[in-house]
Amino acid sequence: METFLVFVNIAIIFAFIFVLIRMQQKHVSFSKRVFAGLGFGILIGVYLQLAFGTGSTVVSQTTDWYNIAGRGYVRLLMMIVIPLILVSIIQSIINLEKSSELGKISLWIIGILVGTTAIAALVGIGSSFLFDLNASQIEAGQAEESRGLYLEERLTDVEDMTTPQKILEFIPANPFLDMTGDRATSTIAVVIFAAFIGVALLGVRRRQPDQAEVFVKGVNSIYAVVMRIVKIVLRLTPIGILGLMAVTVAQTDVAGILELGKFVVASYVALGVMFLLHLVLISVVGLNPFTYLKKVLPVLGFAFTSRSSAGTIPLNISAQKNSLGVDEGIANMSASFGATIGQNGCAGIYPAMLAVMIAPTVGIDPLSPGFLIQLVLIVAISSFGVAGVGGGATFAALIVLSSMNLPVALAGLLISVEPLIDMGRTALNVNGAMTSGTLTSRILYRLNVDRFNDKNAIEKDIS
């Protein structure tokens, strides 16, 4: 009987996939197809929850099959991340008039990412006080205690690395190893390697133009092929989101969310405030925030469902370049750096909220100016080095809590709502990367304003 029900559930998702394919054949816009996939996924997930329950065998077997559409799509995106970063950054640097422009672009992007993360920490602190969050009010079950012990074990790895050592991890010793994604810092290491190739080519062009021209033609040819692969994969986005959302909703622990509801609400209030601040920054540089919002929503929808900043890089670059009119080199670098540096949600809001929650349990007044100043500074600095110890909210929390001499095991209390909050954090991280690219491009007069204002720009390139 269970096998039959699983087959029925598989038939249901195939029916929705068929609808999405028909929508594409009828030239329905990319944005509408993305949100249709999101809506269909929610419907299927709710159906699975109500019909079978979160922990049932039917749901477990069904979601295994659904993951072929969801996680399979994420794997396809991860497949093209490294080739895309490597070739596109080399090509972008080739098009620079001076190598000094590379340093200026990088400084602006990293400065905006880290600066907004410091602001995000303040927002997280404010939300914690507003909702009066306190870790001592949360009861720990077996799963939470196990998670706490795991975090304490991982803490030893974090404490063994100083900030200079974390930064040192960015420098590639074996770029071919980094192209396999073997290290947590592989993405940035590939960016640095690509930058060296691009800068070296600028020097070769001045002294040996014939040899440089041959290399440039080869890079341009590879770039054209890689971008074609990107477009093919991106067309699968609605189906990928359908699978991801169905699995997420079907496996969501509703009881856990209700128990820790105040923390979930406080987290999303902070994420929402920070998102609005991103839009304010967009308007400050003279751009329409509503136009920006409309164009980035499909990318944020995927980031929300996939919970993968790195997996969103191809969509991120495509949207910045094709829809927002961001300079190609800036789009490549902001998306790449933003996946591991200065993540507003994971490295900013989340560890700051945890620190404020946990401080009273060890007799520390979270309202004291010394504590707050120290917290914001540590969040900002650690957001640059999080990738050196694996990346993600867990390691950001470990670094911040240990630096503040706070017990890390209490962070395990949030295990039941971690996936739900992580969806919003990832979307904010990706939006922070896109905001940094848009602002940098605008500040350096490299933004195509006509393309930014073209409502159908992204439709022409992906549909």
For residue 440, what are the CA distances in angstroms to 319, 383, 433?
15, 19, 11
Rounded distance between C-alpha atoms, residue 424 and residue 108, angstroms = 25
Task: Using CA atoms of 274, 358, 375, 429 in order, give the dihedral in degrees to the nearest 10.
Answer: -30
What is the full per-residue pLDDT of the chain (463 aa) written as tens digits? Answer: 788 888 999 999 999 999 999 998 898 888 788 889 989 998 999 999 888 887 788 888 999 999 999 889 888 888 888 888 888 888 777 776 566 677 888 889 989 999 999 999 999 999 999 988 877 655 444 444 444 444 555 555 555 566 677 677 778 888 888 888 777 677 778 888 888 888 888 888 888 888 888 988 888 898 889 888 888 888 888 999 899 889 888 887 676 666 677 888 999 999 999 999 999 999 999 999 999 999 999 899 888 888 888 788 888 998 999 999 998 889 988 988 888 788 898 889 988 998 888 888 878 888 888 889 889 988 887 776 554 344 467 667 777 877 777 876 666 566 556 778 888 998 999 999 999 999 999 999 999 999 999 877 765 555 5
Alpha helices in 95-162 (DSSP H): 100-130, 142-159
Phi, psi for 42 (deg, rounded to 5):
-65, -45
The two three-digit tokens of residue 373, written as one number: 């100043």
Contact 184, 389 (CB under 8 A): yes
43: exposed, middle or buried (Cβ count in 10 Å: 0-12, 13-18, 19+): middle
Domains of the chain as residue ranges with CATH: 2-462 (1.10.3860.10)
Output the CA torsion sign for 330, 336, 342, 343.
positive
Q: Which residue has the tokens 């080199």?
A: 329
For residue 437, what are the CA distances in angstroms to 74, 116, 355, 443?
23, 13, 30, 10
For residue 64, what are the CA distances in angstroms to 17, 79, 179, 246, 301?
17, 21, 29, 11, 22
